[in-house]
Structures are given as C-alpha cells and as structure tokens.
Structure 1
C-alpha cells in the first residue's frame, strides 16, 4: 500500500504529546520498580512484536518515546507506519539500557497498539471502496490531545483526513443553521468572510435542504447526513458536477461498499477513531 505523503510529521510536532504521556507515567520519582531491581549498567535487546495481523501505525511515536527516555537507545524500525503486519512479525528492535527500555515500554505500546488498531480498521473501510473513486475520511471524534496521532493513523490505513480543528474550514451543521435562521442566511454569511483559501461545507438531512443549498450556492462541499441508500443515490445525482459530496452518519463497516457504490466522493466515519479496537502488540526481552 502506498502511504499518503502527509502520513508523517516532524518529531517536533509529536514530542509535546509523547513527553506529557511519559511524565504522566513516570510521575515524580520515575520508574521506582526498575531502579530497585535492575542494575543501572544492565543492557538488553527488546522487540515489539505483533500478536495479531493488522496495519502498523505509531512506530514513529514509539521510537520518539524511547529516545525521550534515553537518547542513547538504539531503535530500529523493521515495519514502519503504513506497513502490513502478520501475527508474530517483529515491528521494532530496541537495544540499550534495560532500565530505559522498561521505562518507555508502556507509553510506546499504548500509542502503537491504539494507532495500529485505527490504521487496521481504516484499511478495512478502504478495502470496501475498491473499484470506486470514493475516499474514506475521519472526523473530529478523536481522543482529546491525541488528534494528530489518530489522524496520522487514518492516513497509515489508506484513508484521508477531514479538518483537524475548528479553524481549518467552515463546516456548517444543523445547529448552525437553526441558530442563524436558515440555509440562505448561513451560506451568505459564510461566503462574506471566507477567504479564497477556505472551503465552505454545509450539512443537509433531506433532499429539500439539498435543493436549497444548490439553489443558493456558496458551498464547495455538502455533507449528506444520515441518509438511507436510495436517498443518497438521488442526492449524488443532484450534486454531480456541481458540488463535492460527503456521506456521513451511521457509516459502519458493513455499509461502506453500498454507500461507495452510490458515487459519493467521500465517506466520513467517526468510528475510525472512536471505535477502533486496540491491536495486541507486546514488548519482549
């Protein structure tokens, strides 16, 4: 699988998140168990092993976690982010002070297991769109303070990213429409302030709302929310060549192929990040 060019970021961006996790785990006194029972000069080689098959993510973060604990550790990544792994595969080899490896182990595995689970689920969603031009994308339904890592994992699984935060783009949802007084009002107001670099997307629940959006204009993307498949087919036909379409709401794995077959441009699913199963990874000396 070809990994998206945006599926890696500088360590500098990830470091504050990983450092905070290490500080939470090490507390005020560090790893007291390891200091009590492991001689300071003891060295070992450890391996992160996949205990089930999946798509790898979180190796960059695992490496960063070990190096933040001890920059002298030698870390070799055998299967990088975006790689397929089989049960029993070795993903990473870490060599150096045993105490340092043990102090970084849990944070490295927490991230790697969680993110590999997201990448694996995303890959399953993407597989259901084979033969279509539909792209699978995530949402903002991410774990607090882990958004960048979880969105990278979606990319590692072959998916695409929706906006990273509230400041990236204008996404007008049902509550915005209700509070602002209607579809014409929100689209007119949005276009008045949006720069040429900022896209406007608007959510609709019905074909009647979609008709109004198309008549008013001003949006580049329409989010077709919680529509059944026959309604989606009609909506996509109405939008063809006029506006980018995104299907969202109740986008479970078993429904993706059916939705992709409607010709929709994007399928967004919060399940990619909020419901992914953590993949079983282990660190063994």
Structure 2
C-alpha cells in the first residue's frame, strides 16, 4: 500500500485546516529607532524600509503599527551626547524616556519595551564600563539598573537588557522592586550570540564598538549547551520572558531553550537577516513576501512565542 500524505495538501482550504504552525500579527514586535529632532524620518541605508525617527514621527509610526494589529514595539535610542559611562541612557530627559512618555500618552495600551544597554550611549561603543582595557562586568550592573528604572519611571511596560553582563537580570529586578516598579517586566536577551548578523543594526543605532569586539561578553556561535546555562541563569534571576538572538541561524537553539523553559520565549530576527532578504529580493533572486513568511514561520515553528522583526509592518499588513 502507498501512503499518501498528499491527500491533505490538495487544496488551500485543506492545507489551512491541517497546518501545524500558525503565525499571527499578535506574535510580532516592531523594533524602532528614536533620535533627537522634529519631523525626522531618516532612512537606514543598510535596512531598506527602516528609519530613524524623531519622537513625534515615532509616535505616528507606532500608531500606524497599532492600527494594523501589532501589539508591541521595542525602542532603541540615539542620544544627543555620548560619554564614557553612557550617562544619557538613564537621564530623565533622555531620548528613550521622552519617547516612552509620548507613546504612553498617545497609545496607552501599546506594549512598550525598551532596550537596556550602554552601547548606543557610550563614546567607545561597548555595552559596559571600560576598565583596564576591557568591559568591567560588575561595575556596569548599577548603570544598567539605573537605566532600567528610568525607563520604568517613564512608563515602559517591559525592560529588555541586551548587554550580556553576568548578573544583570538580578540587579535590574532588585532595582525595579526597590523603586516601586514591581509590575515592570523583564525580557532578558538571555541567549545573545556574538554574531556578524548585527552589522546593519550598528549603522541604525550608531553603536559599533570603537575598538575590539564583543566576543568577551556575547556568546560564541559554536556553543549550544552554554545557551541553556545562560537561559537557566536568567530565569533563576527573575526574568519574566527570555530571548534568543539572532533567530534564523539559531533555530536549533530556540528549540532547545523552548524545551527547558515554560516562560514566554522571544526570538529576534536581526538586522542582517532582514537585510539579506531585502537585498536578494531587490535583485530579483527571491520572492520577498514568501521568504518573509517562510522565515517568520520557521522561527515560530522552532518554538518562539514572540518574534521581534523588522518585517513586522509588512507582515501585519499582509495578514489582515
């Protein structure tokens, strides 16, 4: 007897009925970049369709995203000034803090997530304080905690530490609780690899390191068991959600982390993944729409509940 799985593929309606993985607009988080100015919508050269926004333009963009069903955004700030400690990252009048207040005033139900890291705010471009020629892990924790509290005070629903300092989730949870922000959640970049796929983001956020690289604190792409260790540590420290970054080259890691944790799991389809698809589509080498949905579905199929993606707007429009 011939077994015929094709019987369940013979029509679109039938394929829909038996589809194992379903992608929803509610799965998506849109990353947005905010900078000083007014009426600013500066294109990001290496990320076609993405922009650096001033606060007023950012709020308009977020409103448009909300209207097509996207429930959340994550903010990355380009400050008006950089210094060795990244002090503008925790200033009450910092660019992200201003943006959060503006978003919450216009769109109170939008879930606002803020990136917590120093790289965009330091003049050296690293994610922590530099001492003795390297990043001082423990001295950085207090600054990350200050940044997270300032974001919560501005109205952020969730703070998302992306720095990969050891112990930062515990330090941030303690600081939030002591400041009265027990309800502010933590989405930890628990498993963040030292990836070459971040290249376009560093243009978008003006966050490239001025010397060396980030391999001493971000994970070795060759390691899988270490990812489970990192995820467990952040869970123990009080993370409410955890993330794997990047996504497409690390689908096996998403699956393995999913298997050890019941927490909501996010995955970040990063700038390089987005840029590759855009570039190939622009050259006529790929069908952008199909590859976009295939890649997002693969991330969901691997086990992600939440997908941070620069395709959020395009995908949401097509899923309506």
Q: TM-score range by the shorter chain?
A: 0.3 to 0.5
Rg (Cα) greater in structure: 1
TM-score of the aligned structures, taking structure 1 as reference length: 0.40
TM-score of the aligned structures, taking structure 2 as reference length: 0.36
